[in-house]
Structure 1
């Protein structure tokens, strides 16, 4: 019998079956971090773009959670200044995919399958992930939280994408409001796409720990939002990068505090 979404949500809220190892991307020539299962060959891989002014360490639990479920997750620590180049950030995300697919990672000789690659990001990192995906045919899925508009525009890049997209927006976000950013990107998307609005959530809700940028940006870390993002990102990438259907019910139903706002495929099915 298939599991119900509530049961799947509970299961995916906890770390997966893999022990997690943390590594340093700088050893391969790019500053940043990488989280991997302790062992495994032909694994899926995801490059994650940080938010404006944010260090990758503020997403440690998210990246570690993905790795615990068998996904190699890497985040470059570049373009962290007040005036980041979105184009260069996108290039760094593509370089991160080059590294995780071209280098044996970790003590167990982990390898990433170049046919199982995804991109993700928060804020400008989300917009940069869209730009990166539009310029990289290897990418099979893209997920964002509070995606920001970019230069060149992420909305224009979204029109070129035919791979699945998942965009999460915070209802209380005053920095990258859902209607002006994530919604515009989702509605411009050229392939299957879903937009979810996370209730009682703010721009920095997905980040972890404290950082001086909280004096400039709206919001603060929120455990409930972090949990939902971990669950939905993990379900999304396991579904679209590994071909498993177990977690698909989580992606086709409203969840508490994470309702589906826009999904053409579900609208057509109805």
Structure 2
């Protein structure tokens, strides 16, 4: 019997069965962090783009959570200045995937399958993930939270992406408003796509800890938002990178504080 979406959300809100190890991408020539399970061969892997002015450390629990469920999650610490190059940031995300697939991880009992790669990101990192996906045929899935527009436009890049996309937008976001950013990207998406609106949430809700940029940007860390993002990202990547259907009921259902705003496939089924 298939599990109820509420039960799956609860399951994925908690850490998975894998012990997690933190590594340093700088050892491979790229500043950043990588979180992996202690061991495992042929694992899925993602590169995560940080938000404007944010260090990757503000997403430590999110990345570690994905790793606890068997997903290698790496985040480059580049383009962190006030005027980042979105194009170069996108290239750095692709380079991050080159590192996790091409460099020995751990003591040798760990590897990432180059056929199981995804991209994710917050704010400008979300927009950069869209740019990176448009130019990388290896990518199988893309997830963003509070995605911001980029130059070149992420909306234009989205038209050429045929793999599944999950876009989460904060209802109270004044920095990257859902209507002008995540919704536009989702509706331009060339493949299967879903847009969810996170209620009672702001631009920095997904970040962790404190940082001086909170004086410039709207919002602050919110545990309930972090919990939702962790569960939905985990369900999305396990479904589309590993082929399991166990968590698909969660992706197909409205959940509290994360209602589905746009999903063409569900609209077709209803018709």
Short-chain TM bin: over 0.9
**2:244 is matched with which residue?**
244
1:118-129 correspondence to structure 2 within 5 Å: 118-129=118-129
* SS of equivalent to 2:184: helix
Q: Indicate yes or no: 2:77 matched with 1:84.
A: no
Q: Deviations 1:169-227 (Å, cap 9, x if unpaired)?
A: 00000000000000000000000000000000000000000000000000000000000
1:70: Cα distance to partner? 0.2
**Any idea what SS the aligned residue of 1:180 has?**
coil
Structure 1: which 4+ aligned runs deviate by more than 4 Å? Answer: none
Matching of residues 29-178 of structure 1 within 5 Å = 29-178=29-178
Separation of aligned partners in 2, 1:59 and 1:101: 21
- Larger deviation, residues 99-108 vs 78-87: 99-108
Across the two proteins, how many residue pairs are aligned to each other? 270
The 8 Å contact of residues 38 and 107 in structure 1, kept in 2 or not, is answered as no
Q: How do 1:199-238 and structure 2 match up within 5 A?
A: 199-238=199-238
Q: Give the 3-state SS of the residue equivalent to 2:120 in structure 1.
A: strand
How far apart are 1:104 and its partner, in Å? Answer: 1.7
Displacement of 1:110? 1.0
Kindly state the Cα deviation for residue 108 of structure 1 after the two structures are TM-superposed.
Answer: 4.9
TM-score, scaled relative to structure 2: 0.99
Residues in 1 aligned to 2:194 and 2:225: alpha-carbon distance in whole angstroms: 18
1:111 is paired with a residue of what secondary structure? Answer: strand
Aligned-residue CA RMSD in angstroms? 0.5
1:18 aligned residue: 18
How far apart in 2 are the matches of 1:209 and 1:142? Answer: 25
Contact between 1:205 and 1:222, CA under 8 Å: does it hold in 2? yes
Q: How far did 1:2 drift?
A: 1.2
Instruction: Work out the CA distance in 2 between the residues paired with 1:260 and 1:10.
Output: 18
The answer for unaligned runs of 5 or more in structure 2 is none
C-alpha separation in 1, matches of 2:108 and 2:253: 37
- Partner SS state of residue 110, structure 2: coil
Q: What are the superposed Cα offsets for residues 40-62 of structure 1, whole Å, 9 maximum, x if unpaired?
A: 00000000000000000000000
Deviation at 1:269, TM superposition (A): 0.5
Between the aligned partners of 1:109 and 1:173, the Cα distance in structure 2 is 42
CA-CA distance at 1:109 after TM superposition = 2.8
Return the alpha-carbon distance in structure 2 between the equivalents of residues 263 and 2 of structure 1.
22
Q: Deviations over 1:221-244 (max 9, x none)?
A: 000000000000000000000000
Is the contact made by 1:38 and 1:108 (CA closer than 8 Å) also made in structure 2?
A: no
Equivalent residues of 1:40, 1:108 under 8 A apart: no
Structure 2 residue aligned with 1:262: 262
Alpha-carbon distance, 1:107 to partner: 2.8
Distance in 2, matches of 1:176 and 1:9, equals 26
SS in 1 for 2:97: helix
